[in-house]
Amino acid sequence: MFATLSDRLTSTFKNLRTKGRLSEADIDATVREIRRALLDADVAVPVVREFTGTVRERALSAEVSGALNPAQQVVKIVNEELVAILGGESRGLNLAKNPPTVIMLAGLQGAGKTTLAGKLALNLRQQGHTPLLVAADLQRPNAVTQLKVVGERAGVPVYAPDAGNQGAEGQSGVSTGDPVTVARAGVETARSRQHDVVIIDTAGRLGVDAELMQQAADIRDATSPDEILFVIDAMIGQDAVATAQAFAEGVSFTGVVLSKLDGDARGGAALSVARVTGQPILFASTGEKLTDFEVFHPDRMASRILDMGDVLTLIEQAEKAFDADQAQDMADKLASGKDFTLADFLVQMQQMRNMGSMKKMLGMLPGMGQMREALDNFDEREVDRVEAIVRSMTPAERENPKIINGSRRSRIAKGSGVTTTDVNQLLDRFAGAQKMMKQMSRGGGMPGMPGMGNLPGMGGKKQRGRQQAPAKKNKKGRSGNPAKRVAEQQGLTSGPAAPSGSAFGVGKPADEAPLELPPGLDKFLGR
């Protein structure tokens, strides 16, 4: 969604980092590029003016002129201002003290309200709530049927006493039911069945009109919702501001939900709605699956836009997808010295698939904007091919890949629908990964850290040699000076010859007699 904006801003900051000192002209040029990038991204003009004005004022202040690295300070300022226009801090749903909590969805037709109702219901169910979906959209053809299908997939019941507009061929299909009555009855049903959350799906229109606003206002007055969420298509562009303002005046929503955030549009709506309406963005829909739904964090979104990654969201998704017990078993296995097998690799890959799209996960890593072309060309089906290859192996082959000879490779290739070359490449990559895992388990972690092992190329052998090899000693205690060595042999040196085993020239070896130190040195040694 923000690829173009991210590339423009990253390029601007890259040019800025080449300057050790920033002049007013440099800052003006940077602000000008930021303004162009935001306008190209369809951000509302008032928001752009306010944003660039604040950035310029702060960039010319003492916090930049006195900084050790002015360019990084400007990036920090832009990041903070992006977080501000995106809403500041993230906010969760306001749950009612006395259930059920009533959540009403409003927005234009095609914004994705019905699908988002199912995503929100699934998210709440996973948190331990018992939501109920209410089908109050009786005008869009098959809207009630769609909500039933979505509710079934999410495992959430749907209250739909009226079939709504069926849109049957040869019939008008217009429903005679009253959406206000359905919404009110849905809340009462939820209370009687002890559902703690009610999500009301309302009708939308192709444009803002008085009838839509009046119907939404009547449902609001009849159900007294705790949250009114305005669902807006993130690809709507400049029209997002006018639509949001109209709904704010007509329905007075309490939060915003961005849908279709995975699209390829310029995404200015996300940077405009929160600042224009004054209401926070609560959630974001990032795909077509019901699980492609996440809490909106302004600071994390700003980091994504500035190509700083979103590691926290990546960790949260990993915690949901990975089994803690399996992860502990894997760690114990590696710590005990056992090999990492293809069976373990298959388990890890299946858990990674549960996290969602590989492209999305890779895109959350810092600096991936510089590899955008390679990321766009990444084939998600490659994961399926690898899984097919591993599944075509016998249990013995997965435990010990060394037994896979030529005939076995040919059989595995035929069974998985790939070439023998693909099988060979997978086995070679796995052998390297297995070797790395073994060396990491020996040292207890990553190389280069105290008490940890070293990977190939880290100079581990030389380090071990320096630590373990004893210091070289002159076997007979002879001097390297030939004349002095002759004098020692003839007994002409001023002091007694150092006996064998003595390191300090005293009468006994160092381990047999205490070392005699100059007077006054004892206090520095703590004696």
**Residue 250 φ then ψ, to 5°:** -85, -35
Please check if 114 is assigned to a binding site: yes
Please check if 260 is assigned to a binding site: yes
pTM of the predicted structure, to 2 decimals = 0.64
Query: What's the rounded mean pLDDT across residues 338-359?
Result: 74
Query: Looking at residue 270, what is its pLDDT?
Result: 67
- Of 281, 352, 345, 350, nearest in space to 314 by CA: 352
Residue 320 CB neighbour total at 10 angstroms: 12
Please check if 189 is assigned to a binding site: no
Instruction: Select the highest-mean-pLDDT range: 154-158, 251-255, 332-336.
Output: 154-158
Task: Kindly give the pairing relationship between strand 158-159 and strand 293-295.
Answer: unpaired
pLDDT-based confidence at residue 447 (cuts at 50, 70, 90): very low
Q: Place domain 3-85 in its CATH homologous superfamily.
A: SRP54, nucleotide-binding domain (1.20.120.140)
Residue that wins the pLDDT comparison between 398 and 456: 398
Q: Place domain 314-443 in its CATH homologous superfamily.
A: Signal recognition particle, SRP54 subunit, M-domain (1.10.260.30)
Task: Write down the mean pLDDT value for the chain.
Answer: 75
Please check if 112 is assigned to a binding site: yes
Please check if 428 is assigned to a binding site: no
Please check if 259 is assigned to a binding site: yes
Residue that wins the pLDDT comparison between 38 and 132: 132
pLDDT tens figures, 198-244: 999 988 766 667 777 888 889 999 999 999 999 888 777 667 777 88
pLDDT tens figures, 270-304: 678 888 888 888 998 888 888 888 888 888 888 87
Give yes or no for residue 59 having a pLDDT over 60.
Answer: yes
Please check if 204 is assigned to a binding site: yes
Please check if 121 is assigned to a binding site: no
- In the three-class reduction of DSSP (H, G, I as helix; E, B as strand; rest coil), residue 91 is classed as coil
Instruction: Select the highest-mean-pLDDT range: 223-227, 316-320, 364-368.
Output: 223-227
| Residue 341 contacts residue 438 (beta carbons within 8 Å) | no
Give yes or no for residue 461 having a pLDDT over 70.
Answer: no
Query: Looking at residue 376, what is its pLDDT?
Result: 64
Residue 417 gets which letter from DSSP?
Answer: T
- Rounded CA gap, 250 and 217, in Å? 7
Give yes or no for residue 103 having a pLDDT over 60.
Answer: yes
Please check if 203 is assigned to a binding site: yes
Residue 376 CB neighbour total at 10 angstroms: 10
Residue 383 host element (H or E): helix 381-391
Please check if 244 is assigned to a binding site: no
Query: What's the rounded mean pLDDT across residues 430-441?
Result: 75
Query: Looking at residue 275, what is its pLDDT?
Result: 81
Please check if 309 is assigned to a binding site: no
Please check if 111 is assigned to a binding site: yes
Give yes or no for residue 251 having a pLDDT over 70.
Answer: yes
Give yes or no for residue 443 having a pLDDT over 60.
Answer: no
| Residue 148 contacts residue 160 (beta carbons within 8 Å) | yes
* CB-based contacts of 293, cutoff 8 Å, min separation 6: 116, 119, 120, 122, 123, 283, 284, 285, 286
Please check if 110 is assigned to a binding site: yes
- Rounded CA gap, 117 and 284, in Å? 12
The topology (CATH level 3) of 101-306 is Rossmann fold (3.40.50)
Please check if 407 is assigned to a binding site: no
Domain segments of the chain: what residues? 3-85, 101-306, 314-443
Give yes or no for residue 188 having a pLDDT over 90.
Answer: yes
Query: Looking at residue 154, what is its pLDDT?
Result: 92
Q: What is the percent of the chain where pLDDT is above 70?
A: 65
| Residue 342 contacts residue 404 (beta carbons within 8 Å) | no
Query: What's the rounded mean pLDDT across residues 316-342?
Result: 68
Give yes or no for residue 17 having a pLDDT over 70.
Answer: yes
Please check if 20 is assigned to a binding site: no
pLDDT-based confidence at residue 368 (cuts at 50, 70, 90): low
pLDDT-based confidence at residue 1 (cuts at 50, 70, 90): low
